[in-house]
Structure 1
Amino acid sequence: MAPPPQDRSQVHSQLCQHIGFLYPEADAEELAETVLMVFDGFEPQVPLPLHELWSERDCLLITYGDSVIDNDTVPLETLQQFLDQYVKDSVSAVHVLPFCPYSSDDGFAVIDYTKVNPQLGGWTQISQISQRYRLMADIVINHCSSQSQWFQNFCKGVDPGATFFMEANVGDDLSEVVRPRASPLLRPTETADGLKHVWCTFSHDQVDLDFRNPDVLLEFLKIIRLYLQQGVSVFRLDAVGFLWKQPGTSCMHLRQTHEVIKLIRTVTDAFAPGTLLITETNVPNHENLTYFGNRNEAHVIYNFSLAPLLIHSLLTGKTEYLKRWIMSMPPAPVGCTYLNFTASHDGIGMRPAEGLLSDEEQLQLVETVRRFGGRVSTRRTADGGERVYELNVSLFDAMQGTVEGNDQWQVERFLCSQTVMMGLEGIPAFYIHSLLATANDQAGVAKTQHNRSINRHKWSWSELQEQLGDDASVHSRVFRELTRRMQIRSRNEAFHPNATQFTLQPREPFFAFWRQSTDRSQSIFCVHNMTAGVQELRLSDLNLISTDSWYDAISGQQFDDRTSEIELQPYQSLWITNR
């Protein structure tokens, strides 16, 4: 039986606890009441049972609003056509990357959070997508554009905005501050009150907001309310780990940052049950895991370490690093899960591989990706040096070969990468350019002079339809096989995001793990040949129960002799199941 809904007094009490920690000098009772007023018209509801938050049928597509364009239609309508025509039977949720007016970083320097970029469409198109798919939207919460009205007001010394931005003194101890960029942290800015130095974690066009001011928090709660009204049901808290700043610290993952997330969780759980929070924290694995909190922060966290480790394994044929990592991953707490992805609008983050891959292994990965047309972005370290921050490359092109060079197994290697991702504990997420086997966009890099443009291609709708309609096209071949496997996955309860997972230890070069449905009625042995050679698998290594009938859900092959050896072709994957 589901617990009864809270009343507003219970929500008020919870808010007072959050506020008392975040703003000890504020009147917690009054500020909590102000937060409740933001959600005036929303009433506390019955919480959604945990088993209804997600299922094996869930799969996410990540896309920009204008990843597919048609001169005769606004991009969000073209996106809707693509979704309904090609992926409606394969994905349940869509992450439309920042769709607000912006000034840089392809949407992550937001000018106005309350509007949809008119070049994409309007709220009508956003709401239409949300009616057919679970819609995920970004809350770019750490910073906003220097062209925003808030920042213009900051410069003028008027509200709203006069006290919205993080300032620092030149003499402050900022030596430990963690940065994802090599640009100067502080931006000198002339204001009505004289020269000020504002904090810019990412770029000088992306000015950091000051959440020490509760008015900033209230503004973002108003944005969340607006998005809920427009049908958004999944919120991606972008770069949230940087949120709270305190000179003399790393300014990463501070306790106040976690408390802000808890406060947001309190209001969304109360007023919009079923709403999911996803924290975007591209950091080493042990830091990332803290964002589950005590099941009171993120419902979902990105599995950032998967991409670099999986790519390393497929390019080298070595599985020990991938196995070691997956064995160390704890099952997600009840009511929580992982978001598994191998590519996104950003590059392949290398920070999550720190401590997992040696410097030599990382360097080999960098050199290999460069040979396949990729690029590399760096970050500034506390001692003034630089380290690799991310690899910028189309994932499909990253699979052109191995550390030995190019070969003929690009499609098979790529399909293997996506099949591994689909089988793991958590919800799989496909970047649109992985689904479409899009190549490196070197022309985009030349145009923007930004490395990340290499994986942000804009498809012509007519050209895409032509490619997907051509059975000989590599785009069609990859797309059809991926969506086929996605649909197979959705029919197997052992792929529930919280189904049991256990790492297997077959001989090299196999990577294998076992999934079992929550009711224990179904088992699936996920086995992957991580090399360009034909490999012999001993079925006896899997300990298949003799009373069950086993077959490969991907190919349909039956396994009547559980002691035999079978051949796996280069990069072949098996989903061996008992039903």
Structure 2
Amino acid sequence: MPESSNLQESIQYHLQFLYPQENHLQLVDQIAAIFADYEKPVSLKEIWSEQDALLITYGDTLLHEGERPLETLQRFLNEKVGETISSVHILPFSPFSSDDGFSVIDYLKINPKLGDWEDVAEIGKEHRLMADLVINHTSAESEWFQNYLAGKSPGKDYFIEVEEGEDLTEVVRPRASPLLRHVETPDGPKSVWCTFSHDQIDLNFRNPEVLYEFLRIIRRYLEEGVQIIRLDAIGYLWKEIGTTCIHLPETHEMVRLLRTLLDIYAPGTILITETNVPNHENLTYFGNTNEAHMIYNFSLAPLLLHALLAGTSKHLKTWLMSMPPAPVGCTYLNFTASHDGIGMRPAEGLISEPEQAEMIESIRNAGGLCSTRKLSDGSEKVYEINVTLFDALKATIQGPDDYHIPRFLCSQTIMMSLEGIPAFYIHSLLATPNDAKGVEHTGRFRSINRKQLNYDEISAELDNPSSSRANVFHEILRRMKIRGQQPAFSPNATQFTLHLNSHFFAFWRQSVNRQQSIFCVNNLTSKKHKLQLSQLNLISTDNWVDLLSEKSLQNRTGIVTLEPYQTMWITNRK
């Protein structure tokens, strides 16, 4: 436990910035009391390595009769996945009222339909556990909001009231629904702030009591074995009428405060921010190495999808050249699909409007859907594409072909090759098609990529070598096992973009000790293409091999032919 003076020195500046009118010493004492007697064992293991990979899943994606879903998830991890996946992000596991978990009723409980805290802790024993801190808003059915409606505490002062006539035109919205919800309280009618939906009521972090509530939640998560804390929708946390109400200085200061507290009380715990916004905005959440340890590489998904649909690396390469290396002690979380759709805001300024429209039309032809957001002028724009990545890649903008699976595997291999840690959404790992019936049942576009699966049926398919699901699943795991043995794929290994023809997407990784190089070359098209190896500057004293095909490259200046959507990992170390 840190001494009180050290704690004050570490966090007092954050509190002065956030709560200038409050007694800061008293705030420090309150925070210290929340973490009193909490001691997390300090791990001597490095925070991450080339052996790290993340699985993103709902707690009840896999179902088995007579078994709690979290038990079934653990069985899948043990029986099918093994050590290839080091970390698991169990999407919101608390009781909820909407948005498939992101409208939390009680943060300190486990949804009984999933299991209990023991099930969560069991998964955390074998895998690094990641959990959502749904910090921007809470459910309208939560005790806090119900108390607010009744004029009681805790909750009476936990929400943001807006006076009639306030100018909210500058507020950045991720949804097209009305921003304000009108409610009756003991003090008369009020209008409360709802960034996402009228069932998700934004919390008022100007009140330090709200901060205390979430620090108590964080402590409970830590006690139950959570090692990665995901700050959901964090960019919208702080509101200031007359501004955009996104990425405000107070929001960044809150992230810095949480980072400081975790570094003090739970060293080794990873903080990751979820900010589905344009790339230059997303990068700010590294701060000065004092905010998030990890940020989602949100631009990768739409750019990679465009590259494979259009058969060109021009935008993907331009973006990669502009991406800074992650700061020391930080890294990227690379993903191509998640429980949400593929966000289009991170593609703003990177893919032209006509090209975005062409890509969206291709997705719609593949059975995909599109969600929109409302702009300040009242118009609407596509906010995200709703589709399973497997189905999104079953054709290109030119139409269907015979390369569905190679194209999909190429997408996953590029993702696992880039600087950072790869994250696989379970429905990508399992090559799940669109769930049109799910959308019809719920009325929500995101349900297209949230299908619940029978574990026995999935297990049988994975054991059937002729099934597409088995081919995708086992090939991804094979490539991940190869990846995990290469120091040049360490999350913070050097990365440089290579300048080849646009039908290729290529980059170079080099291990921290400079002993291993890997040239990652990907054919983005449905045609064979020749690669002149002299373009890669292969060192003459080394022997070079393609890790994926295990073919030796005897002639360093010769020519190799890449099949449609083939990836080569050309390395001097095997």
Q: Structure 1: how far apart are the matches of 2:376 and 2:244?
A: 9
**Take 1:7 and 1:337, find their aligned partners in 2: how far apart are those partners?**
30
Are residues 8 and 483 of structure 1, via their aligned partners in 2, closer, same or farther at CA, if it must alter by over 3 Å? farther
Tell me what 2:419 maps to. 425
Match of 1:30 in 2: 26
Q: Which residue of 1 aligns with 2:478?
A: 484
Aligned with 1:9 (options 5, 27, 31): 5
Which residue, out of 87, 91, 108, partners 2:81? 87
Is 1:169 the counterpart of 2:163 in the alignment?
A: yes
Shift of 1:8: 3.7
Per-residue deviation, 1:45 = 7.8
Letter in structure 1 aligned against 2:19: Y
What amino acid is the match of 1:31? L
Structure-2 residue corresponding to 1:464: 458
Query: Could you tell me which amino acid in structure 1 is paired with residue 136 of structure 2?
Result: N
Measure how far apart 1:193 and its partner are: 1.1
- Secondary structure class of the residue paired with 2:83: coil
Counterpart for residue 62 of structure 2: 68
Within-5 A mapping of 1:236-385? 236-385=230-379
Distance 1:169 1:90 in 2: 53
State how 1:123-162 maps to structure 2 within 5 Å.
123-162=117-156
Residues 475-504 of structure 1 deviation map (CA, whole Å, 9 limit, x = unaligned)? 000000000001110000000000000000
CA distance in 2, matches of 1:406, 1:346: 25
Tell me by how many angstroms 1:42 deviates. 2.3
Partner SS for 1:161: coil
**512-521 or 170-179, larger mean C-alpha shift:** 170-179
AA in 1 matched with 2:540: S
Residue of structure 2 in register with 1:556 after alignment? 550
Task: Choose the corresponding residue for 2:568, options 543, 549, 574.
Answer: 574
Runs of 4+ residues deviating >4 angstroms: 43-46
* Matched position secondary structure for 1:168: coil
Structure 1 equivalent of residue 224 of structure 2: 230
Question: How far 1:43 moved relative to its partner?
Answer: 4.8
Give the Cα–Cα distance (whole angstroms) in 2 for the partners of residues 169 and 347 of structure 1.
34
SS of the residue 1:77 aligns to: helix
SS of the aligned residue for 1:344 comes to: coil
Q: Distance in 1 between matches of 2:376 and 2:246?
A: 13
2:438 to 432, 444, 454: 444
- Alpha carbons 1:315, 1:399 under 8 Å: kept: yes
CA drift at 1:508 = 2.5
Cα shift at 1:414: 0.2
Structure 1: stretches of 5+ with no match in the other structure: none
Whether the aligned pair in 2 keeps the contact of 1:12 and 1:36 (CA below 8 Å) is no
Q: Deviations over 1:87-132 (max 9, x none)?
A: 1221000000000000000000000000000000000000000000
Matched residue of 2:168: which SS?
coil
Alignment-derived partner of residue 394 in structure 2: 400
In the other structure, the counterpart of 1:412 is 406
Q: Which amino acid aligns with 2:301?
A: A
Separation of aligned partners in 1, 2:369 and 2:449? 11
Query: Secondary structure of 1:215's partner?
Result: helix
1:474 aligns with 2:468: yes
| Matched residue SS, 1:537 | strand
Q: Residue in 1 aligned with 2:192?
A: 198
Read off the aligned partner of 1:245 and give its amino acid letter.
Answer: K
Question: What secondary structure does 1:88 align onto?
Answer: helix
- Residues 519-558 of structure 1 mapped to structure 2, 5 A cutoff: 519-558=513-552
Q: Deviations over 1:380-422 (max 9, x none)?
A: 1111111110000000000111101111101000000000000
Q: CA deviation at 1:287?
A: 0.3
Match in the other structure for 1:40:
36
CA contact (8 A) 1:45 1:270 kept: no
Pairwise CA RMSD = 1.1
Code of the aligned partner of 2:52: D
Instruction: After TM superposition, give the deviation of residue 547 of structure 1 in Å.
Output: 0.4
Are 1:493 and 2:493 counterparts? no
- The AA in structure 2 aligned to 1:441 is D
Give the TM-score of the pair, scaled to structure 1: 0.98
Distance 1:480 1:43 in 2: 40
Once residues 306 and 363 of structure 1 are traced to their aligned partners in structure 2, the CA distance between those partners, rounded to angstroms, is: 18
SS of 1:112 mapped into structure 2: coil
In the alignment, what sits opposite 1:391? 385
Does structure 2 retain, via aligned residues, the 8 Å contact 1:516–1:523?
yes
Contact preservation (8 Å) 1:378, 1:388: yes
Q: How many aligned positions are there? A: 573
The amino acid of 1:29's aligned partner reads L
Query: Structure 1, residues 506-545: CA drift from partner, whole Å, max 9, x if none?
Result: 1231100000000000000000000000111111111100
Q: Which amino acid aligns with 1:22?
A: L
Q: Secondary structure at the match of 1:355?
A: coil
What is the deviation of 1:44? 8.7
Pick the aligned partner of 1:507 from 482, 501, 510: 501
- Please report how far the alpha carbon of residue 214 of structure 1 lies from its aligned counterpart in structure 2 after TM superposition: 0.4
SS, match of residue 528 in structure 1: strand
Structure 1 residue 16, shift from structure 2 partner:
1.4
Structure 1 position 118 matched with structure 2 position 112:
yes
Calculate the TM-score normalised by the size of structure 2.
0.99
State percent identity of aligned pairs. Answer: 59
CA deviation vs aligned residue, 1:4-28 (integer Å, no higher than 9, x gap): x954421222221111110001000
Match of 1:565 in 2: 559
Offset of residue 170 of structure 1: 2.2
Aligned residue for 1:153, secondary structure, equals: helix
Aligned amino acid, residue 27 of structure 1: N
Q: Secondary structure at the match of 2:271?
A: strand
Unaligned runs of 5+ in 2: none
Q: What SS does structure 2 have at the residue aligned with 1:248?
A: coil
**1:516 is matched with which residue?**
510
CA distance in 2, matches of 1:459, 1:226: 30
Q: Provide closer, same or farther for how the CA distance between residues 8 and 520 of structure 1 changes in structure 2, counting only shifts above 3 A.
A: farther
Does residue 21 in structure 1 map to residue 17 in structure 2? yes
Separation in 2, partners of 1:166, 1:508: 50
